[in-house]
């Protein structure tokens, strides 16, 4: 396999940046205010929601305890009472350490 030089990598990156800028400009100048595009986008969103609604619920149920523990920790930490959280909810604190959210 052929190695790619640094100059080639820079050219590829620059090309991608220019392409992204062109797409963004095209969207904001042509598509954004187009009623047909808006209708298609809304229909795509509606179909995506119908298709993935159950996945969101499953993900929420799966991560419910971790999310709750994070919110409690952030609440206590913002008030400067992280020690109170550790004393009151040691199992939730351990869960956050295991998940890597809190460093011991």
User: pLDDT of 32-78, one tens digit each?
Assistant: 999 999 999 999 999 999 999 999 899 999 999 999 999 999 999 99
Q: List, as one string, the DSSP characters of 32-87.
A: TT-HHHHHHHHHHHHHHHHHHHHHHHHHHHHTHHHHHHHHHHHHHHHTT-HHHHHH
Residue pLDDT, tens place only, 10-38: 999 999 999 999 999 999 999 999 999 99
Position 1 scores a pLDDT of 67
Position 26 scores a pLDDT of 96
d(CA 26, CA 56): 32
């Amino acid at each position: 396999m052929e190695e790619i030089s640094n100059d080639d990598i820079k050219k590829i990156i620059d090309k991608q940046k220019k392409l992204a800028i062109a797409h963004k400009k095209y969207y904001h100048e042509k598509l954004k205010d187009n009623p047909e595009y808006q209708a298609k986008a809304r229909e795509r969103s509606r179909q995506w929601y119908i298709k993935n609604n159950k996945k969101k619920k499953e993900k929420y149920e799966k991560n419910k305890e971790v999310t709750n523990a994070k919110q409690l920790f952030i609440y206590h930490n913002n008030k400067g009472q992280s020690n109170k959280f550790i004393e009151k909810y040691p199992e939730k604190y351990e869960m956050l350490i295991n998940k890597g959210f809190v460093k011991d």
